[in-house]
Amino acid sequence: MGNKLAIITLCVCIFFIPGCFGRTKTPYITEQFAFEYNPTAFKSTDQIDGSVKIERFSVNQLYNSQAMVFRAQPYKLSVYNYNRWRTSPGDMVCDFLTRDFRTSNVFSAVFSYRDTEEARFIVEGGVEEFLESFEKDTWNAVLKINVSFIDDSQKEITKRVLFQKRYFYKEKMKEHSPDEFARGMSTNMQRFSEQLISDVAIESIKTMKKKMD
């Protein structure tokens, strides 16, 4: 009788032990995304004998994290649970701008906000929108950035700001997915970078010619 009771007790313990310790779950893997595109070299543009510095951009607090934000309906923002940007939008934009300015060969020297060197021209700005948005039955990658271009050699405040512009880009996505979101934002960033470099080059040349005259 004792042996039989012991066997029954052992079977009951074996049955309940897995429940006590819980089942082992496969951990979720978080995928990280970043811009990916080839920078443009402005071969036809003469190099400007001056330096430019890309300062760190501010970011709208709605998007100031590594979260990949999307808006499926008005007033409601959501994020992809297991997908994130490699860095925050502001840092990613500035890092790629610095790379693109250097590749363009427009200025004799290009510095980032991490560098201690001073520069005559300064690019400042802020990321206003950085998200995936559902509009008119279509998903779009949306990028909106404001930029101030400054001539630091000027003493008067009114002459320091060469221009202030807002850049807005919207890329249609093939589907609602983090991969397609990253592709769309890469396209937006490439367009923004090319346009900004062109605008900055034109304004810099005009400013330097005025000073020579």
Task: Convert 182-197 into a string of H (helix), E (strand) and C (coil).
Answer: HHHHHHHHHHHHHHHH
Q: Say if 41 falls within a structural domain.
A: yes
pLDDT-derived band at 12, boundaries 50, 70, 90:
very low
Q: Say if 8 falls within a structural domain.
A: no
- Which domain, by its residues, includes 48? 32-212
Contact yes or no for 167/144 (Cβ under 8 A): yes
Q: Say if 161 falls within a structural domain.
A: yes
Q: What pTM was estimated for this model as a whole?
A: 0.85
Q: Say if 10 falls within a structural domain.
A: no
Q: Say if 122 falls within a structural domain.
A: yes
Classify residue 35 by its DSSP letter: -
CATH number at residue 97: 3.40.50.10610
pLDDT at 213: 55
Q: Say if 157 falls within a structural domain.
A: yes
pLDDT-derived band at 71, boundaries 50, 70, 90:
very high
pLDDT-derived band at 14, boundaries 50, 70, 90:
very low
Say if residue 206 is exposed, middle or buried (CB neighbours under 10 Å; 0-12, 13-18, 19+): exposed
Q: Say if 24 falls within a structural domain.
A: no
**Number of domains present in the structure of the chain:** 1
pLDDT at 83: 98
pLDDT at 209: 77
For 75-95, how does the pLDDT look when each residue is reduced to its tens digit (9 = 90+)?
999 999 999 999 999 999 999
Q: Say if 25 falls within a structural domain.
A: no
With a cut of 60, say whether residue 6 has pLDDT above it: no
pLDDT-derived band at 47, boundaries 50, 70, 90:
confident
pLDDT-derived band at 10, boundaries 50, 70, 90:
very low
Contact yes or no for 104/198 (Cβ under 8 A): no
